[in-house]
């Protein structure tokens, strides 16, 4: 975020006090903060016991004897899938709809808790029949369809570990993730719908398996797109065929609270994505607690919709685990917001009477661009809480969201968290907090954060610094898959005993937190995290490229956009025009990583600005990419470089 936008954020003085009528019925109360402050561990122990059902109750809340490796509720035993399914049926809520699935072409299915439980039991038997058991890794590469949720829960039910790879990632990204986790099985679909056409997922799985992924024994394929797929006899199996023959009964066994639940890869500052590891009891406790209180969920009457794909952490915690643990009724939607028309999301809200809605600022900004005329055509009066996640939400988008989507009535919760934190960490509580547009505001009850200067001292009020979490929390990552050292180095070595989040933050005069974006070489494009290094490695793997530098430039809609600066290999210079090189390289990045990483712009340059120690000066490149006058260049080795670069794209 540029310094001008930070300034305007901090001059945001609008305040929105909770409506008394909302407060009167709210799940959350100000006492939660008091309770957690008095005894944080007791507070979390109460949440874990009250929100979840344990096969064996825990007697210890936190074991922090070997920091930063935490164990929460570790002598308790729990089955995550049982908590999301069977217990709701046993409590008499089997007829409640768990999922309203809306396919992009307009097909729909309502699946009750009883039906979802039955499907997951069968799927667990199918997977067990394929040799999947506790601790085994299963990769998922699926569209946003009910089978993605069913597969995740079936894996969890067996005590196995899922690794969901977003369906928009390329075959090579899938291969790298399968190899890192040594997954035994991959579950995919023939295809899924996006922007009105079927995209073939199975092809990408075949390509991944052709270039590695040797740990994979079987490919389980859900039929969705009905598109043609290649078939490898013996290896490939149809989901519907195995499900038709599967035994219906499956008893959920209790596993240790620290049994791994999933690995989810996220970009870091190096070229290699990190496999973020989450476990069971603590993760589910915080996912359920935050979902219940931050959205004020009333499972008997609310219809909740989170627009995230299950390929991201938001889809894990706030489509699958939090809502289902709480017995919520929710919508899942397969496609894009503007297919077949720009009002599709609002049409879905009207159709299902959605009451609680969770999406990303980038989506809100793109709807702002289209104009309020589109949402105004739909009845959105059922909405009562709106959530935002993924990047800072600028006050204008916040206010538009509240006025146009929320009818000027709904509380807005801006929720700060990360793949690593597993669940929400900083957010207003509806009915309790007086909202400030643009600020995530206060740590949730039981969560302790601080903003520090580079020496590790608290910055005080009306000052900026680095965001840290100062105490372990139940849904914290337990490590990076296969790389304990990287876990320690990345998150726990900047400040002794504290978790360094990688975000800059400002504390205002009330001590409320305003997030200012990443302070490392991680970009945030449409709320998705991308590594500059990862894209640079993809670029230099192309035969045209000698050297590459990537920056995230401010973008009105997507937050940041990927902009690349590339030096061509000497022998390639003149063999292509700059336009041809740009087109080839944009396509190459999309093919290597996925379409979300495709640079908006590739500048072909003769030199890159570097410091005397050889570090690329990304700040300067960002200035250039955003069309600003270049800043301080005193540490540059060759001050002419900047002039020649800027000149080359005027």
| Residue range at the interface with ligand WT7 (CB under 6 A); choices 280-288, 412-420, 489-497, 591-599 | 412-420
279 binds ligand WT7 (CB under 6 A): no
Q: CB of residue 234 vs ligand WT7: minimum separation in angstroms?
A: 37
Contact 141, 165 (CB under 8 A): yes
314 binds ligand WT7 (CB under 6 A): yes
Contact 124, 158 (CB under 8 A): yes
283 binds ligand WT7 (CB under 6 A): no
- Helix or strand run (H / E) with residue 278: strand 274-279
- Helix or strand run (H / E) with residue 98: strand 97-102
Residues in the chain: 650
414 binds ligand WT7 (CB under 6 A): yes
Hunting for tokens 């299915």 — which residue is that? 109
Listed in sequence order, the DSSP H helices in 387-469 are: 395-400
Nearer to ligand WT7, 147 or 309 (CB): 309
Nearer to ligand WT7, 391 or 536 (CB): 391
Q: Of residues 419, 433, 532, 554, which one binds ligand WT7 by CB under 6 A?
A: 419
362 binds ligand WT7 (CB under 6 A): no
392 binds ligand WT7 (CB under 6 A): yes
Q: CB of residue 90 vs ligand WT7: minimum separation in angstroms?
A: 32
Q: Of residues 266, 326, 329, 475, which one binds ligand WT7 by CB under 6 A?
A: 266
12 binds ligand WT7 (CB under 6 A): no
514 binds ligand WT7 (CB under 6 A): no
Hunting for tokens 């001050």 — which residue is that? 639
Q: CB of residue 527 vs ligand WT7: minimum separation in angstroms?
A: 6
Site for ligand WT7 in 476-505 (CB under 6 A): 501-503
Token couple for 401:
């969201």
Q: How far is CA 420 from the centre of its chain?
A: 10
- Helix or strand run (H / E) with residue 8: helix 3-10
568 binds ligand WT7 (CB under 6 A): no
Q: CB of residue 518 vs ligand WT7: minimum separation in angstroms?
A: 5
Look at residue 114 and give its three-state secondary structure: helix
Is the peptide bond prior to 451 cis by the omega test (within 30 degrees of 0)?
A: no
Site for ligand WT7 in 152-191 (CB under 6 A): none
Site size toward ligand WT7, by CB under 6 A = 22
- Helix or strand run (H / E) with residue 127: helix 113-129
- 449-452 and 463-469 beta bridge pairing: antiparallel
Neighbouring residues of 108: CB distance < 8 A, sequence distance ≥ 6: 100, 101, 102
Binding-site sequence positions: 194-197, 314, 390-392, 414-419, 503, 518, 526, 529, 540, 542, 545
Residues β-bridged to residue 506: 464, 514
Q: CB of residue 369 vs ligand WT7: minimum separation in angstroms?
A: 20
Q: CB of residue 360 vs ligand WT7: minimum separation in angstroms?
A: 8
515 binds ligand WT7 (CB under 6 A): yes
Contact 557, 369 (CB under 8 A): yes
Nearer to ligand WT7, 16 or 73 (CB): 16
Binding-site sequence positions for ATP: 390-392, 414-419, 503, 518, 529
Q: How far apart are CA 593 and CA 210, in angstroms?
A: 17
Q: CB of residue 559 vs ligand WT7: minimum separation in angstroms?
A: 9
The DSSP letter of residue 201 is: H
Q: CB of residue 281 vs ligand WT7: minimum separation in angstroms?
A: 21
521 binds ligand WT7 (CB under 6 A): no
Extract the runs of DSSP E, i.e. beta strands, from 201-249: 218-222, 236-238
532 binds ligand WT7 (CB under 6 A): no
Hunting for tokens 């996912």 — which residue is that? 287
- Helix or strand run (H / E) with residue 139: strand 137-141
Which residues of this protein are in contact with ligand WT7, per CB under 6 A?
266, 313-314, 389-392, 414-419, 440, 501-503, 515, 518, 524, 527, 529
């Amino acid at each position: 975020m540029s310094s001008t936008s930070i300034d305007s954020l901090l001059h945001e003085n609008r305040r929105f006090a909770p409506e008394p009528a909302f407060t009167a019925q709210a799940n959350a109360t100000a006492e939660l903060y008091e309770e957690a402050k008095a005894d944080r561990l007791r507070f979390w122990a109460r949440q874990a016991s009250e929100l979840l059902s344990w096969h064996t109750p825990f007697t210890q809340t936190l074991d922090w004897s070997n920091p930063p490796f935490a164990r929460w509720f570790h002598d308790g035993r729990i089955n995550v899938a049982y908590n999301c399914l069977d217990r709701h049926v046993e409590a008499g809520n089997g007829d409640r709809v768990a999922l309203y699935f809306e396919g992009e072409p307009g097909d729909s299915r309502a699946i009750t808790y009883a039906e979802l439980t039955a499907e997951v039991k069968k799927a667990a038997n199918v997977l067990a029949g394929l040799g999947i058991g506790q601790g085994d890794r299963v990769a998922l590469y699926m569209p946003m369809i009910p089978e993605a949720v069913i597969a995740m829960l079936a894996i969890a039910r067996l005590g196995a570990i899922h690794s969901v790879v977003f369906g928009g990632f390329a075959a090579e990204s899938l291969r790298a993730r399968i190899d890192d986790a040594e997954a035994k099985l991959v579950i995919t679909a023939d295809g899924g719908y996006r922007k009105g056409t079927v995209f073939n997922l199975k092809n990408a799985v075949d390509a991944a398996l052709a270039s590695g992924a040797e740990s994979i024994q079987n490919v389980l394929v859900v039929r969705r797109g009905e598109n043609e797929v290649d078939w490898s006899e013996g290896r490939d199996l149809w989901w519907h065929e195995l499900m038709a023959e599967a035994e219906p009964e499956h008893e959920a066994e209790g596993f240790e609270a620290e049994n791994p639940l999933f690995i989810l890869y996220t970009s870091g500052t190096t070229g290699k994505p990190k496999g973020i590891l989450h476990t069971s009891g603590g993760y589910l406790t915080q996912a359920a607690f935050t979902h219940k209180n931050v959205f004020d969920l009333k499972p008997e009457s609310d219809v909740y919709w989170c627009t995230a794909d299950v390929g991201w952490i938001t889809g894990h915690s706030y489509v699958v685990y939090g809502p289902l643990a709480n017995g919520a009724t929710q919508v899942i939607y397969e496609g894009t917001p503007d297919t077949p028309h720009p009002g599709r999301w609002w049409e879905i809200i009207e159709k299902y009477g959605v009451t609680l809605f969770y999406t990303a600022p980038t989506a809100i900004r793109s709807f702002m661009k289209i104009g309020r005329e589109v949402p105004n055509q739909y009845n959105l009066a059922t909405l009562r809480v709106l959530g935002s996640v993924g990047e800072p939400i600028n006050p204008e988008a916040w206010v538009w969201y509240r006025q146009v989507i929320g009818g000027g009535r709904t509380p807005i919760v801006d929720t700060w968290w990360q793949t690593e934190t597993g669940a929400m960490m900083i957010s207003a509580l509806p009915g309790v907090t007086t909202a400030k547009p643009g600020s995530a505001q206060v740590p949730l009850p039981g969560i302790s954060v601080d903003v520090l200067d580079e020496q590790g001292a608290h910055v005080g009020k009306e000052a900026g610094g680095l965001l840290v979490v100062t105490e372990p929390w139940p849904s914290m990552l337990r490590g990076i898959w296969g790389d304990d050292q990287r876990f320690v180095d990345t998150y726990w070595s900047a400040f002794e005993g504290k978790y360094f989040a990688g975000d800059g933050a400002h504390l205002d005069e009330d001590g409320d937190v305003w997030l200012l974006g990443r302070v490392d070489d991680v970009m945030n494009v449409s709320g998705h995290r991308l590594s500059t290094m990862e894209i640079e490695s993809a670029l230099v793997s192309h035969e045209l490229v000698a050297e590459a530098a990537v920056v995230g430039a401010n973008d009105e809609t997507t937050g940041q956009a990927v902009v690349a600066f590339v030096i061509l290999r000497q022998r390639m210079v003149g063999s292509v025009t700059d336009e041809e090189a740009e087109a080839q390289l944009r396509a190459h990045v999309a093919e290597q990583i996925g379409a979300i990483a495709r640079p908006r712009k590739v500048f072909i340059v003769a030199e890159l600005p570097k410091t005397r120690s050889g570090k690329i000066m990304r700040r300067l490149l960002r200035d250039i990419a955003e069309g600003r006058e270049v800043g301080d260049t005193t540490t540059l080795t060759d001050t002419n470089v900047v002039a020649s670069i800027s000149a080359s794209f005027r």
